[in-house]
A and B are shown apart, each in its own frame.
Chain A
Amino acid sequence: MWVWQVRVLRGSKFSNMRYELIPHTADIGIRAYGKDLRELFTNAAYGMFDIIADLDGLTPSVSQSIEVKAANREELLAAWLAELLYHFYTKQIIFFDFNIEKLDDTSLDAKASGRHVGENRNRLKTEIKAVTYHELKIEENRAELSATVIFDV
């Protein structure tokens, strides 16, 4: 099976990728990487918005506080992404800069920053309808974490 490496950016010791796309027939899946949970959640969120819009060269001008709770860290990841998606649709903000202030397995406080859709409408690429729980998992491999998330598009 092919894997399409999306972008090479700063990253952890064991991976030079923030995330990669994984094959799924109808929808879009990503595998995000991080040296710890904080980086993993940041990269998963970045991956989601990188699918939604062309983020190249954007600098943040607006911020949004995010607080989510869930039963475990996998569901917390889904809740975090769903929360960002909700703010994207209702406040019309494309997020790409994430400052996670507090994070454990069941709760997260963060500040997400980005740009209003407004003059960036032509950067929009793909409508992500929702974050699914299908095959949702966080795995630890040596010193690295990876998360698999499938989006309904």
Chain B
Amino acid sequence: MSEKTQWNGHLEKIDDYRWRIPKSYKTGMRVDGVIYASEEMVKAIRSDKAAEQVANVAFLPGIVKYSLAMPDIHWGYGFCIGGVAATDIDTGGVISPGGVGFDINCGVRLVKTNLKEEDVRPKLKDLVYGLYNNVPAGVGSKGDIKISPQEERKLLVEGAAWVVKKGYGRQEDLDYTEERGAIKGADPDAVSDRAYERGKNQSGTLGSGNHFMEVQVIDEVYDKEAAAVFGLAAGAVTLMIHSGSRGLGYQVCDDYARGMIATLSKFGINVPDRQLACAPVNSEEGKRYLGAMRCAANYAWANRQCLMHLARGVFEKVFGMGPKDLGMDLIYDVAHNIAKIEKHSEGGKERTLCVHRKGATRAFPPGHPDLPPRYKKTGQPVIIPGDMGRNSYLLAGTEKAKETFYSTCHGAGRLMSRSAAIKAGMGRSIKAELEKKGIVVMSTGRETLAEEMPEAYKDVNEVVNVVHNAGISRKVARMRPLGVIKG
């Protein structure tokens, strides 16, 4: 039996980097869809059902302006990956668990070091093995951090601050974490017993699949001044951590997605995909999901904080250096699967919007009040992980991103399905191929390396060029991988 995934719908070119799906494409769309992409990318975008999902998201009640997709767009469930949608909460706008995803607050943090590539190269294997041995990873892995049920409720409210209080990191780490590592309004009573159960042993674990910890070196700087503000220069070694809310977040999404399918008719909502089930933000159902989602988001920030702490310990041991000499300061931590209640001005009027970012990153402009004082001039650091063989990027937010509700891309975006990647990897050693390029890789999962091979992804350079050229964020620095651990 063959599968047809080609999308042949109508796409209008707006300019070199924007494409419109007019709302006339499908009855029920409330606004147009807009996809950020280059002409060359459009062919790949048409090869799966992601564009149809952009059109489906336009059905959401209360959606404002357009259903957006970033250039790392690919086929997801409900929303496409790379999807951004804002709903007006004062006029019945909805929140959709499918617009956040199962891995609530999946995100990335970037840590600077005072090390150079030549310092790391001779000890690279020790470093990667040290990270691999000290950071729990893999399917259903358990962490060393044991906490009581009562303490877990506190963790869900206080997020990264709670683990810092327990000795996992420094107070100033919080200044450089989105929402200071704890979004307000978390409601531990809205989290099911099952979600608690799935989360209790997983604090401080990396997870599996595309989650990773990567040692990198800055190989190109586009904006020296901004890079200096972030504490970076060409040749400097950085550490990137990509993880999320683990089983707790997956269960929260599962509980509420199921619940909201059942209440669609009660609210008279019609969506073309059950995974887009939603409820008005201001309804009881909407508020409870938001409270639970924020708990999962805080859990994820606590988790990445623990992971960074574990990694700092490994660096100190491998290089025999103290924290001060190593200079492992957190540059920033961003969420890329989340819904946020934000104020945005439209036509001189301030509106309170629920901004869903499903595989998209918040990118606040220079001067935004939520940025730490040090980043007021540069704009928000935006961290874009690429695949394990090519590059990753550090970008900064811009004023022009107002048109995307201050959102930009989140990564390279998959090109190949996982099973196609495994097939393409048969008889090859991805590990040896990467080692030839000087990249040391360790992975727990038997098929993870094949699934995650560089060619399974779009070239992150092309994705970043689109958001840079479209002006919705700007390039500051580019990194290339030295060592990677995968779940």
Q: Which residues of A contact B (CB under 8 A)?
A: 1-4, 20-28, 31, 52, 54, 71, 75, 78-79, 82, 86, 88-90, 92, 117, 122, 124-127, 129-136, 150, 152-153
Name the interface size band of chain B.
Answer: 35 or more
Q: Of the 9-residue stretches B1-9, B285-293, B328-336, B373-381, which lies at the interface with chain A?
A: B1-9
Minimum distance in angstroms from A73 CB to a CB of chain B: 14
B18 at the interface (CB under 8 A from A): no
B186 at the interface (CB under 8 A from A): no
Known interface pairs A1-B4, A25-B48, A133-B273; A127-B77 also in contact (CB < 8 Å) = no
A26 in complex: contacting residue of B4, B75, B140, B446, CB < 8 Å: B75
Cβ–Cβ contact A90 & B197, under 8 A: yes
Known interface pairs A3-B1, A27-B76; A86-B251 also in contact (CB < 8 Å) = yes
Cβ–Cβ contact B78 & A132, under 8 A: yes
Cβ–Cβ contact A25 & B208, under 8 A: no
Known contacts A28-B417, A133-B261, A134-B77; 8 further A-B pairs (Cβ under 8 A): A21-B419, A25-B50, A26-B75, A75-B274, A79-B258, A132-B102, A133-B273, A133-B274
B140 in complex: contacting residue of A1, A127, A131, CB < 8 Å: A127
Question: A24, A31, A52, A75 — which one has the most chain B CB atoms within 10 A of its CB?
Answer: A24
Cβ–Cβ contact B445 & A25, under 8 A: no
A82 in complex: contacting residue of B1, B254, B419, B445, CB < 8 Å: B254
In the complex, what residues of B have CB within 8 A of residue A1's CB?
A: 2-5
Minimum distance in angstroms from A138 CB to a CB of chain B: 13
Cβ–Cβ contact A136 & B274, under 8 A: yes
In the complex, what residues of B have CB within 8 A of residue A78's CB?
A: 258
Minimum distance in angstroms from A126 CB to a CB of chain B: 6
10 chain-A/chain-B pairs, Cβ below 8 angstroms: A1-B2, A1-B4, A25-B50, A25-B75, A26-B74, A122-B446, A126-B208, A127-B138, A127-B207, A153-B209
Minimum distance in angstroms from A142 CB to a CB of chain B: 14
Cβ–Cβ contact B447 & A25, under 8 A: no
A89 in complex: contacting residue of B140, B274, B423, CB < 8 Å: B140
Minimum distance in angstroms from A144 CB to a CB of chain B: 12
Cβ–Cβ contact A127 & B261, under 8 A: no
Cβ–Cβ contact A130 & B250, under 8 A: yes
In the complex, what residues of A have CB within 8 A of residue B237's CB?
A: none
A126 in complex: contacting residue of B139, B251, B261, B420, CB < 8 Å: B139
Cβ–Cβ contact A133 & B275, under 8 A: yes
In the complex, what residues of B have CB within 8 A of residue A131's CB?
A: 254
CA A143 – CA B80 in complex, angstroms? 35
Known interface pairs A125-B446, A126-B447, A132-B77; A28-B418 also in contact (CB < 8 Å) = yes
Cβ–Cβ contact A127 & B48, under 8 A: no
Cβ–Cβ contact A125 & B447, under 8 A: yes
Minimum distance in angstroms from B157 CB to a CB of chain A: 23
In the complex, what residues of B have CB within 8 A of residue A31's CB?
A: 1
Cβ–Cβ contact A153 & B418, under 8 A: yes
CA A153 – CA B445 in complex, angstroms? 13
CA A31 – CA B2 in complex, angstroms? 11
The residues in B between 250 and 285 inclusive whose CB is less than 8 angstroms from any CB of A are 250-251, 253-254, 257-258, 261-262, 273-275, 277
Minimum distance in angstroms from A150 CB to a CB of chain B: 6
Cβ–Cβ contact B198 & A89, under 8 A: yes
Using an 8 Å CB-CB cutoff, how does the interface string of B139-162 with A read, 1 for contact, 0 for none? 110000000000000000000000
Cβ–Cβ contact A26 & B277, under 8 A: no
B365 at the interface (CB under 8 A from A): no
B247 at the interface (CB under 8 A from A): yes
CA A25 – CA B419 in complex, angstroms? 9
Cβ–Cβ contact B416 & A25, under 8 A: yes
In the complex, what residues of B have CB within 8 A of residue A22's CB?
A: 3
Closest 6 CB pairs of A and B: A134-B77, A127-B208, A133-B274, A132-B77, A134-B275, A130-B102
A75 in complex: contacting residue of B74, B138, B261, B420, CB < 8 Å: B261
**Beta-carbon nearest neighbor of A141 in chain B:** B1
Minimum distance in angstroms from B35 CB to a CB of chain A: 15
**Beta-carbon nearest neighbor of B418 in chain A:** A28
